[in-house]
Amino acid sequence: MTKQNNSDEERIILEDIESRLSSFGKDRWNLIPILQMIQTRHHYLPADAIRMVANYLDIAACEVYGVATFYNQFRFNPPGKHPIQVCLGTACHVSGGDIILENFERKLGIREGETTEDREFSLERVACVGCCALAPVAVVDKIVHGRMAPSKVEGLLLGFQIEKEKQERAKRSDESNL
């Protein structure tokens, strides 16, 4: 996805938020319901949306940001097409979950909580996903992958890359047949 597409998309998101703000009172206790509305509708809180909410409630943007970071239900980056969650619950942590997270970070060139520039992948750490016997665990596209190892990280990402290249080749051949 290009930067232009990203900014067009963000403009549409901001217009949507602006049109809905007036249904909330301007009291500061509406801050969390407003943030929840944005998170539910758009799956993250864009930086400009945080400023917009701060203006609307007449409070400092850093206060909005402070409240949003306190609750881990809020994200600050758009979700990737393929969301990756690495479990760092106790069983996964002691089985090397942090090494798995670090491997994803290194291979994708992003930190936990971020999204790749092409919006293909987002990466986050999560608490126990309930499959401790399979530790360390990663959830990719909502599919649980147990007994993760650095080679499995590489294999998973390679699989996505091969699939993407296949789709691009098919698209190019469709275009050339027009």
Three-state secondary-structure class, residue 109: coil
In the complex, minimum distance from the CB of residue 45 to ligand FES, in angstroms, rounded to a whole number:
27
115: phi then psi, degrees, rounded to nearest 5:
-125, 140
83 neighbors 141 (Cβ within 8 angstroms): yes
Q: How far is the CB of 102 from ligand FES (least distance, A)?
A: 16
Nearer to ligand FES, 50 or 135 (CB): 135
Measured from each CB, the residue nearest to ligand FES is: 89
Beta carbon of residue 97, minimum distance to ligand FES (angstroms, whole number): 7
Asked if 123 and 114 touch (Cβ cutoff 8 Å), the reply is yes
Footprint of ligand FES (CB under 6 A): 87, 89-92, 128-132, 135, 137
* Alpha helices per DSSP H over 85-146: 90-94, 97-108
Pick 78 or 146: Cβ nearer ligand FES: 146
Of residues 59 and 131, the one with the C-beta less far from ligand FES: 131
Backbone angles phi, psi at 52, to 5 degrees: -65, -45
What is the smallest separation between the CB atom of 81 and ligand FES, expressed in angstroms?
24
Residue with tokens 């998973």: 156
Which one, 59 or 91, has the nearer CB to ligand FES?
91
93, two tokens: 């942590």
